[in-house]
Amino acid sequence: MTLRSSARISELKHRIETREARIGIVGMGYVGLPLALLFSEEHFNVTGFDVDSRKVEMLNSGESYILRIPAMEIESARRHGFSATADYARIAEMDAVIICVPTPLNEYHEPDLSYIRDTVQSIAPHLHEGQLIILESTTYPGTTEEVVVPLLEQGNQSDLHAAKDHVSRGFYVAFSPEREDPGNDSIARRDIPKVVGGCGSAAVELASAVYAAIFNRVIPLSSPAAAEMTKLLENIYRCVNIALVNELKQLCMRMGIDIFEVIEAAKTKPFGFQAFYPGPGLGGHCIPIDPFYLSWKAKQFDFHTKFIELAGEVNTAMPCFVVENIIEALSQRRKSLFGSRVLILGLAYKRDIDDLRESPSLTIIELLQKRGASVEYNDPFIPSAGKGRKYALNMTSTSLDRIPEFDCVVIATDHSQYDYTAIVSKAQLVVDARNATKGIEATNIVRC
């Protein structure tokens, strides 16, 4: 048994090093698709799995549905053997399977692991001995060992178990947090170090070998839980510091101080300070969600993460702060929000991307509509927005030529394509939640 297990590990490592290993990636979204392309660039045989038939069809036709990924990259991957499928029976063909599915919060701000559970249950019947399963979805510490491993062991048809070492037979399980930063082109994906935690030494060794083929540095940790906590620390660090400057912004506004001027001055200090910037709220899949994932898990250990929860609450409240400033700005011009026409500039959660996940713009629109405003939006990267997990807009992007028609224009996302001087000159009122109009002097600008 020892020889057989060790031989399987050696064989898989050899297949990885020679690019013969077959890689399956479940979830062809903002994390899974870029990862698939990285493996394809290194001449691996890659199969993308997704339950969305539209995505599968587009990928197999060489088309892209993500702004920052040009179709030519997908077409190049197809020439190297990449294909997409919704048939989970093909999991059996894979040497390594990497799970990149969403982990949102439910309506009670508790972790929603339904995507992970459904995916793992779809994979389990097709497991084979010696297969490597890696979870990349951001989640609370313990998910890999407490949720993924039991579901894989219960659902496979060969009575296989997660192998903890080089001696045991079975399949191998690891966790490696994704570190995608949409819109950031300053760092090549392969230059972002890859953290890996495995269920046992063999899993760590195999997962490290897989990622070492496409990343320049791999950092092995002692356990999946340590890797899961690493991801949460990275994002909670940002969440807490952004909450700090969001709160300071509100204080500075009352004191008549420009918070952005203060931040620029503070960051000239060559040590002990990193600049973070306020905004209308947090978006994206990780930073707005991770504090609540950890606080939920902490309660199982009779521990209350007061500081972290407070940061999450401060950031969650920022869209309300923006709306209150819109109400005040309109009121000073003898207008009520009820019945006013409001144009939101920027639907994406950050500059120059097409990602709506957890965008504060969505919350701002919802709050304005509830208060009786007529709301439209413009976003050069999002021509239309239908229905998502937390929104049902059924709206299309409005032309900027119509700016004069609106009682208020709200800068919610500071896309670089916008000509802010022209926007201010055409608008009756501009509420700037991103400091995008810095340097523009005009009486119709309200910065918040």
| Element spanning 320, H or E | helix 318-332
**DSSP per-residue string spanning 166-177:** SSS-SBEEEE--
- Give the other-Cβ count within 10 Å of 372's Cβ: 11
Residue 448 annotated as catalytic:
no
Adjacent-strand bridge partners of 23: 46, 96
The C-alpha atoms of residue 185 and residue 406 are separated, in whole angstroms, by 35
DSSP letters, 187-232, are: S-GGGS-EEEEESSHHHHHHHHHHHHTT-S-EEEES-HHHHHHHHH
| Contacts of 25 by beta carbon, 8 Å cutoff, 6+ apart | 32, 35, 36, 39, 46, 47, 48, 49, 97, 98, 100
**Which amino acid is it at 123?**
I
Which residue of the set 286, 320, 408, 448 is catalytic? 286
* DSSP-based three-state secondary structure for 430: strand
The residues that bridge with 286 in the sheet, in sequence order, are none
Of the CA atoms within 13 Å of residue 162, those in its CB half-sphere come to: 25
Distance, in Å, from the CA atom of 355 to the CA atom of 381, rounded to the nearest integer, reads: 9
Query: How is residue 137 written in tokens?
Result: 């979805």
Q: How far apart are CA 341 and CA 376, in angstroms?
A: 8
Distance of CA 98 to the CA centre of its chain: 16
Of the CA atoms within 13 Å of residue 297, those in its CB half-sphere come to 20
Q: How far apart are CA 86 and CA 251, in angstroms?
A: 51
Those residues whose C-beta lies under 8 Å from the C-beta of residue 255, and which sit 6 or more positions away, are none
Closest CA to 253 of 343, 351, 322: 322
- HSE value, Cβ hemisphere, 13 Å, CA-based, for 108: 4
**Active-site residue numbers?**
286
